[in-house]
């Protein structure tokens, strides 16, 4: 959990703001996952902070939703071209890439359970304010 919070603070994903009375707040929760090695032993534990998106209201909290993922046909064409032209390629993983997205809406999310701040407990995160 500490790594997740640190990554969000490092990338300026949010700022702490007071509760506006007229604005909808989205809840947050922690999702935990155990990553295993090929032999079945535990490799590491992962914690992800997620917004309770099912509480969001279309037209108020968001206008459109989509997942930015390459289609399999695009990947196959790329691999065929790379093989045909003898290009070298490699796989890579970008940690916390979702934190670099830009939101057009102003989204307020409640602070996650267990998060300690020196500011008032009647605060929440304002997501997507990147400068």
**Tens-binned pLDDT, residue by residue, of the chain (131 aa):** 778 777 777 777 777 777 667 777 788 888 999 999 999 999 989 888 887 877 777 776 677 666 678 899 999 999 999 999 999 888 877 666 665 566 677 777 777 776 666 554 555 555 543 33
**Residue 67 included in any domain:** no
**Residue 82 included in any domain:** no
**Residue 86 included in any domain:** no
**Residue 11 included in any domain:** yes
**Residue 74 included in any domain:** no
**Residue 37 included in any domain:** yes
Q: Under DSSP, is residue 3 helix (H, G, I), strand (E, B) or coil?
A: helix
DSSP-assigned states of every residue in 39-72: TS-EEEEEEEEEE-GGG--BTTTBS--------H
Which pLDDT score, from 0 to 100, does residue 9 have?
75
Distances from the Cα of 103 to the Cαs of 47, 74, 131, in angstroms? 23, 26, 12
Domain that holds residue 54: 2-62+96-127
Total domains, the chain: 1
Which pLDDT score, from 0 to 100, does residue 120 have?
41
**Residue 76 included in any domain:** no
**Residue 35 included in any domain:** yes
Cβ–Cβ < 8 Å for 95, 110: no
């Amino acid at each position: 959990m500490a790594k997740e919070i640190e990554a969000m603070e490092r990338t300026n994903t949010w700022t702490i703001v007071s509760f506006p009375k007229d604005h909808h707040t989205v809840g947050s929760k922690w999702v935990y996952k155990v990553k295993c090695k090929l032999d079945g032993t535990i490799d590491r534990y992962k914690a992800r902070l997620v917004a309770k998106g099912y509480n969001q209201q279309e037209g108020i909290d968001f206008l459109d939703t989509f997942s930015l993922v390459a289609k399999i046909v695009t990947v196959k064409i790329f691999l065929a071209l790379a093989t045909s032209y003898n290009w070298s390629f490699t796989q890579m993983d970008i940690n916390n890439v979702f934190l670099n997205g830009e939101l057009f809406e102003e989204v307020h999310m409640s602070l996650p359970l267990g998060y300690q701040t020196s500011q008032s407990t009647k605060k929440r995160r304002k997501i997507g304010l990147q400068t």
